[in-house]
Structure 1
Amino acid sequence: MKTFWVKLTPKASSNRIGEEIALENGQIALQVWVTAIPEDNKANKALLKLLSKHLKVPVSSIEIIRGQTSRVKQIQIHA
């Protein structure tokens, strides 16, 4: 099992994964942009789909464990 932080930006011009950035609390997070809107869980679903494609793991093995309604999220990969 692996966990990491993501800073998600919804309503972007394209779906993409950027570089690691430092958050205000000192954590390191992966910057991610998705075109989906942050309503009805659409941005979160787009995030999981993008991470699944990038990491080559099934969407069902990726879970948002913290930050469902926040831009900063903790992600867990079940291998």
Structure 2
Amino acid sequence: MLMSHGKRPARLHYLPYSFRVLSPGDHVTCAVSGQAIPLEELRYWSVARQEAYASAALSVEAELADRAKRGLPV
């Protein structure tokens, strides 16, 4: 069980199938929408960009934007 640390953003290191808490907190911020994501609900992130996403759709949106920015086919 994750411990609550009172409305404070956590700092995480995102790994392929999990994440490591670097600084305790109760949420992270979605890189696309800016929405607070409680750690208990965090399911989507990018290991390469070290970003969290509030939904699968926002994750895909970020991936497509990154590919377009790098000149790769989308």
What is the TM-score with the length of structure 1 in the denominator?
0.29
Higher strand share: 1
What is the TM-score with the length of structure 2 in the denominator?
0.31
Which protein, 1 or 2, shows the higher relative CO under an 8 Å CA cutoff with sep ≥ 6? Answer: 1
Question: Which structure would you say has the larger Rg?
Answer: 2
